[in-house]
Structures are given as structure tokens and as C-alpha cells.
Copies of this chain bind each other. A is one copy, B any other.
Amino acid sequence: MQLPDAVDSLSALAHASRLAVYRLLVRAGSDGMPAGEIARRIDVLPNTLSNHLTILDRAGLVQSRRDGRSIIYSADYDRMRDLLGFLIADCCGGRPEICAPFVGIAEEVGCCA
């Protein structure tokens, strides 16, 4: 990942509604969730949500597929891993001790035990 792409992803996530949408989708897993249900849960108008989803999609953070009348959105985990990798990689200027705290952060958070 290059810096401009990282900025795009960070910008997409740097908004209360969009971050809430993204959290919802990563929790929904690969099943994803239709736009309408997202709108109800986050409590935003459908057209406003659509704009937010477009921004997340352009940033590569979510994917979409049509299922009948619904469009199902789901989180792109690869993109998140790339973004985290970019941020974590930044912390190492040849000094492993600096970013040692980041090793195994997933376990520390009580996630993916």
C-alpha cells in the first residue's frame, strides 16, 4: 500500500457514520448486510448511506453484490490488513524495540484468541 491509498482508506473511516457502518460490516462477516438494514441500524437516510457506502467502496474497504432487490455490502478484510500493515510497518525505523508493543496486539485485545 502506498501513502495516497492509505489516506483514502483513513479518510473513508474518519467519519462517525462510516466508521459505524464499517464496524457493523466487519461484524457481519462474509455474509454482509443489505444497504437498507445498514441504514436502519445506523439510523441514516438511504441516500446519505448510499453516499457513505460509495466512499467506503472506492476506498476498497467494502465490497458489494446484488441479491434480488437488495445490494449486500461486506467488509474487505484484506484491505484492512493492508492498512494496518502499512501503519504498523511505519513504526519500524530499524528499531524493532519501538513497535514491539504492536506484536500480538490482536491477542492482547482479547480477539482471535
User: Chain A residues in contact with chain B, CB under 8 A?
Assistant: 3-4, 6-7, 10-11, 13-16, 19-20, 22-23, 26-30, 75, 77-78, 80-81, 84-85, 87-93, 95-96, 98-113
- Tell me if B106 and A27 are in contact (CB < 8 A): no
Complex alpha-carbon distance, A26 and B4, angstroms: 18
- Tell me if A16 and B29 are in contact (CB < 8 A): no
- Tell me if B28 and A4 are in contact (CB < 8 A): no
Complex alpha-carbon distance, A105 and B80, angstroms: 11
Tallying the copies of this chain within the complex gives: 2
Complex alpha-carbon distance, A3 and B100, angstroms: 25
- Tell me if B19 and A7 are in contact (CB < 8 A): yes
Distance in Å: Cβ of A24 to nearest Cβ of chain B: 9
